[in-house]
Structure 1
Amino acid sequence: MVRYWILKSLNHGVIDREEVETEGERLRRNDPKLTVNECVLRAFNKIRPIASNGIEDIGLPPINPLIIPEIFMSLDTSMANFTVTVFNYTVGGMNNYDIKEFEYDPETMTYRFRIEFETIPMSGSVKVNGHIINVPIVGNAYANCAF
């Protein structure tokens, strides 16, 4: 989701603007003391509270919690044939991030970044139906986990 937001933001010209405001100071792209990468890192830290509630202008949904109404997965092979559906998949803690590195290459228009999160709790209702090696697998449950 964060990668999606970066791409969406860059396409809307957040980085291409001559000036980006961060914490009361103006950051200029041609400032020799400040690279575009440092500017993006500062901007991410500044928008953290705003991004938590979502940013409609760029299509970013609320990220704390991030709620995905339905996730569907399936596998269809001779040894295993099953489907897994997760309803109301909820991910918390997405606003507790720390971007450690950010590199933008304007020539290739590629982005590389390292982001760390604190504990990320996840939950949702899970429905499984199918078989693995002709052993039926059927179930419904509510699952909680944390990473």
Structure 2
Amino acid sequence: MKNIVIILFLSCIFAGINAYPRKLNSNVRLEPGVSGPMQDVLEKLRNLIHNGNETLGIPVLDPLIIPSIDINLNTSALKVNLEAEGISLTGIGDFDVSNIDITLLPMGLRFEGSFPLTKLVAEKYDLVGKIAVLPIYGAGNVLFEVGALKFKGNARIAVGISGVSLRDLILELSLGSFKSETTGMLGGGDIDQVINAILADWVPDFFNSNSDSIADLVGDTLLTSINQVLDGMSLADLIDLVTGGS
């Protein structure tokens, strides 16, 4: 997932850089439906996410297939041991970018978009843990549907002889809806429907109530990861990455 978001963000950077030499005004706005570098880059990016690129070493990312995971968390409030198999994530390649504003002095990017619908499936999971003093456990399968995950942000970009780098990244996030069809929690059976209904109400409320902290964490992680990808990368290298080498 993180790799997908990094490639998406790098594509927005490339679109801004590609527009730079053609525009002399200090604020360039690319609207949906306007032909230009952004539309071409985003279409190539969707194709890259759905089909991968063997030459560049980029696998198919939608669907993103993860054979298994093993997660162990141990904090004062949460203790979790989770094993899951047969995991797939779909819908990431169908992202929308509704707006991009490019400023030239200093060079920056303001962007807005969404992932309309993403689905996470696990064919099998096994969970044991505690939330505070309350035990949690379960074994079964998982289907999560995340609707209208919206993102908005701005970043400062440096383009020089040494290459491209990201100076800062500020994000805003919001979640529209969440649907769960998980089985086997707390023994499963009739309680599955109750737990799924609770999750459908609780997850969006929790996410949106804590969106600032979540966005800060995601932004800091992406800033570090993106600059690691960009380290030593020329503009030509960036173009090859986000256009699939074409």
Per the normalisation by structure 2, the TM-score is: 0.42
Aligned to 1:77: 75
Aligned to 2:5: 3
Q: CA deviation at 1:5?
A: 1.1
Q: How does 1:68-147 map to 2 (within 5 A)?
A: 68-102=66-100, 112-124=110-122, 125-147=124-146
* Unmatched 5+ stretches in structure 1: 21-27
After TM superposition, the structure 1 stretch with the greater mean CA deviation from structure 2, 46-55 or 104-113, is 104-113
Q: Secondary structure at the match of 2:43?
A: helix
* Distance verdict in 2 for CA 1:87–1:8, change over 3 Å: farther
Distance 1:56 1:66 in 2: 16
Say how many residue pairs are matched: 136
Q: How does 1:21-100 map to 2 (within 5 A)?
A: 29-32=20-23, 39-100=37-98
Distance 2:42 2:135 in 1: 47
Q: CA deviation at 1:39?
A: 2.5
- Higher helix fraction (1 or 2): 2
Give the aligned residue type for 1:113: F
* Distance verdict in 2 for CA 1:73–1:36, change over 3 Å: farther
* Unmatched 5+ stretches in structure 2: 31-35, 147-246
The C-alpha deviation readout for 1:89-112, integer Å capped at 9, x for no partner, is 211122222111335678888755
CA RMSD of aligned residues (A): 3.8
Q: CA deviation at 1:82?
A: 2.0
- In 1, are the aligned partners of 2:8 and 2:45 still within 8 Å (CA)? no
Give the aligned residue type for 2:6: Y
Per the normalisation by structure 1, the TM-score is: 0.63
After TM superposition, the structure 1 stretch with the greater mean CA deviation from structure 2, 118-127 or 45-54, is 45-54
Q: CA deviation at 1:66?
A: 1.3
